[in-house]
Amino acid sequence: MKQVGIVRKQKGEVIQVASQLKKWFEERGIEVCVHETELSPFLDVVIVIGGDGTLLHAAKLVGDKCIPILGVNLGGLGFLTEIGLSEIYSTLEMILKGDFETEDRMMLHASVLRDGENVYEQRVLNDIVFMRETLARIIELETSVDGAYLNTFRGDGLIISTPTGSTAYNLSAGGPIVYPRLNTIILTPICPFTLTNRPIILPESATIRVKLAEWATGVSLTFDGQTGLHLQGGDMTEVKKANTCIRLIKSPYRSYFQILRAKLKWGELPKERT
């Protein structure tokens, strides 16, 4: 390993941890770059210090470079940042020896078409969300899958999520938890006007098109909660599986289900009967 990147929050404790990590790597002859706006394509590993929001920002910086990402949790919930503060150095020792596993997480690609012209595009690791900007107005989203009409969702909005994002906004909106290594696309309406509108899981090959009514106003589109776009009436958004993925380094200390139980407070393992 020759070069490591660090992506961090601008907070006192996080800055201190990043500084200690930088010194630790340099003592081992490894160059360290602390990044905020871009990442070198020659990095061997990217270390994220913060919470899931910081990791989503790092995923955007990594783009299609396929650099393995290690998430260190100094934030809140932490489904993506799996490594605890006390586990950093023991985990890094394993990584330096090549004793680690990664898993590829599916991403989505969204394109916004206005009068037939592509005006914006973005890749996401978690979700793409259609949201109303005004309090007392229901929005209508005409939705099709692979060219076949699915439904016109009426309500506060619509979430299009990856399995990784299933434990984010999708979960809060009543969507299903999907194992993150599955390649599927989840559609979850937000506070639907019709109570029979329910989440639906689609195959990775699906192309989803969501059209805003011509008369519609006050609707925005957000990407991983990091960036947003104000939509205009008649805008068409096309969402499909991205041609690249994000590579996360797995925790050597706990499984996905242990993390899930801990974060959702499902309780401990049952005790063995004697």
Active site residues: 52
**Contact 6/19 with Cβ under 8 angstroms?**
no
Sheet of 184-190, strand order: 200-203, 184-190, 157-161, 127-132, 219-223, 227-231
CA distance 37 to 163: 27
Beta carbons of 161 and 254 less than 8 angstroms apart:
no
Among candidate residues 14, 25, 24, 104, the one with its CA nearest the CA of residue 59? 104
d(CA 163, CA 177): 7
Residue 265 to residue 252: CA distance in whole angstroms: 21
* Cβ neighbours for 174, distance < 8 A, ≥ 6 positions apart: 188, 199
* Residue 248 near residue 79 (C-beta atoms within 8 A): no
Strand ranges inside 27-163, DSSP E: 31-35, 45-50, 69-73, 102-114, 117-124, 127-132, 139-145, 148-155, 157-161
